[in-house]
Structure 1
């Protein structure tokens, strides 16, 4: 799922720590009469060399002096954390002023070139010049040629109509969404081996999956095949759309056979003003760890919450959640339970004929008052 979080901080220059202030020592007794007194601070030659070298390492940098580069690279944020645009320099302390800003801009320009114009350069035949044609124009022309592979995504208005019709006609309807957590779950032993999943999906336990969990993978795949609407990412970052198609292919799922919408359809319904119309007059069942806070926010706005199921501790809790939900009479289930939400929505629809929506982190935003209905 899509979960917002800040851009990782840029690396700050490593400044050697200042040498600690020496501890106070009692004055040593003076030398015996007749012996020459050594100069204060004198040390044997061998020890003196180590001390001087150590002091050089510990000596603090002069104020205003250039700090030595250590060759460390800025840690890019994990894909599941990235929601702010990389060009937003306000999110990068190194882009604030002076040399840090220059280095950031140089790195950004290089990445922009190597990820776009350089690729176009390499496709132009040797000895030829592509005159006054922008990369954007080339991409637009190429996209037109690939029109058969462009699949439509349902707009918020259509999804709202489908949900409303399903509720009023008491027909089963499952709206599920695929983010990086779901796609990495599906990628287990298909696109990625176990080591790659551990490396790339460190956040998965937080999202309700503890790899390796091939049973969870297969349940998510089944839910995607049978859901009424499947939200997919439009972002072409590594673990979003660029992982979507290999994962679907490995599971034998043809995207042309799915009824697709955006994976941020939950937010789109809220931003378009359709969410309050969807919730008004409905008996709502809230499922997930954030359900209690969400319930308070919705009840305060006059919506009818008839049930809360919380917490949802991963895939092992799904059977309990389904059983508890079967005891409640409701019109619409809003499920915010990480990756298990996909399976919960599907099972509520398929087994009990209910309408269920993968509500995601919108539950957090509404519960905290960051967004309103």
Structure 2
């Protein structure tokens, strides 16, 4: 997943707050524009109108896999020795997918000043196409629940643009890494397994996991952007492991998918859960 740096978080927070303020006012104006001439709708908010109208679209709801369902899928794949990739799409991944396709390059750059620290410098059409193929082939995809412009507002136009039907994809939340940890499902999953750790902070993460009794099969560091993916995969192939935890910025999506597709293993996009475990903000036990 994209690097959740302070810069990215602050930018996204400011952008989203501004968008929400404008959206609330815009929603009220949109309702007003739909009313018959010379009428008003007293004491009914735009939110209430939307809630009533949503009833007609409930049949189109698409369920997201819950943490326990993702855990079950991971556990079954590990038990059967079958490949599985769980990847996550945040605003960084979506902007990388959208640039020069769904969004003009300039707009992608303006919305994603953090992208170079997440492993991609735009424009990079080759990286974009590798991401497209990874999304197309991933087994479980974490997506944002937010409908804001740089989240679901990009996701579905991206899928349509690249000819990927959302109906064929298994979605979960983009914070599935944290949910698995919070519900102690990650700890159950790794118990007794050989774990390969990949990312810029693979070594300190491996130390934290080892200290908690996890059998670490190896640590691969660093992950220097999309140009480093081939080396990372080649090094991963030299290790005997059951599951890979990948904290490699945006390239993690491609690495996870290829670990499953090429090495026949299970891979989980671990993201900044790695940083929180290393810093002690979260504990593994």
Shared fold per TM-score greater than 0.5: yes
1:205 Cα deviation (Å)? 1.1
Alpha-carbon distance between aligned partners in 2 of 1:3 and 1:183, rounded to the nearest angstrom:
13
Which residue in the other structure is 1:180 paired with? Answer: 91
**Structure 1: gaps (5+ residues):** 9-75, 87-106
Residue 236 of structure 1 aligns to a residue in which SS? coil
Deviations 1:266-301 (A, max 9, x none): 111112221111111111100001212211211121
Give the aligned partner of residue 133 of structure 2: 222
Q: Residue 348 of structure 1 contacts residue 354 of structure 1 at CA under 8 Å; is this kept in 2?
A: yes
User: Residue 78 in 1 paired to residue 29 in 2?
Assistant: no
CA distance in 1: counterparts of 2:138 and 2:42, whole angstroms: 48
The match for 1:204 among 115, 120, 127 is: 115
Structure 1 residues 136 and 195: CA distance shift in structure 2, 3 A: closer
Q: Secondary structure at the match of 1:205?
A: helix
Confirm whether residue 351 of structure 1 aligns to residue 284 of structure 2. Answer: no
Distance 2:255 2:19 in 1: 42
String of CA shifts for 1:136-188, please: whole Å, max 9, x gaps: 32222222212243211000000000000101100010001111111111112
**226-235 vs 266-275, greater mean Cα deviation:** 266-275
CA distance in 2, matches of 1:148, 1:209: 38
Q: Report whether the alignment pairs 1:160 with 2:71.
A: yes
State whether residues 2 and 250 of structure 2, in contact with CA within 8 Å, keep that contact through their aligned partners in structure 1.
no
SS at structure 1 position matched to 2:101: coil
- Structure 2 counterpart of 1:241, from 143, 149, 152: 152
CA RMSD across the alignment: 2.4
Indicate the residue corresponding to 1:339 in structure 2.
Answer: 250
Asked whether 1:255 is paired with 2:188, we answer no
State the distance in 2 between where 1:123 and 1:175 align.
43
Q: Is the 8 A contact 1:6 1:83 kept in 2?
A: no
Q: Choose which of 196, 211, 214 in structure 2 pairs with 1:300.
A: 211
Unpaired stretches in structure 2, ≥5 consecutive residues = none
Structure 2 SS opposite 1:145? helix
* Alignment partners' CA distance in 2, 1:154 and 1:307: 30
Larger Rg: 1
Aligned residue for 2:81?
A: 170
Question: Match of 2:27?
Answer: 116
Q: Hey, what's the Cα distance between the residues in 2 that align with 1:315 and 1:108?
A: 32
Seen in structure 2, the aligned counterparts of structure 1 residues 153 and 265 have a Cα distance that, compared at 3 Å, is same
Taking the TM superposition and a 5 Å limit, the aligned residue runs for 1:352-367 are: 352-367=263-278
Match of 2:194 in 1: 283
1:229 and 1:261 in contact (8 A); partners too: yes
Separation in 2 of the partners of 1:250 and 1:356?
27
Tell me: CA distance 1:125–1:141, structure 2 relative to 1, closer, same or farther (3 Å): same
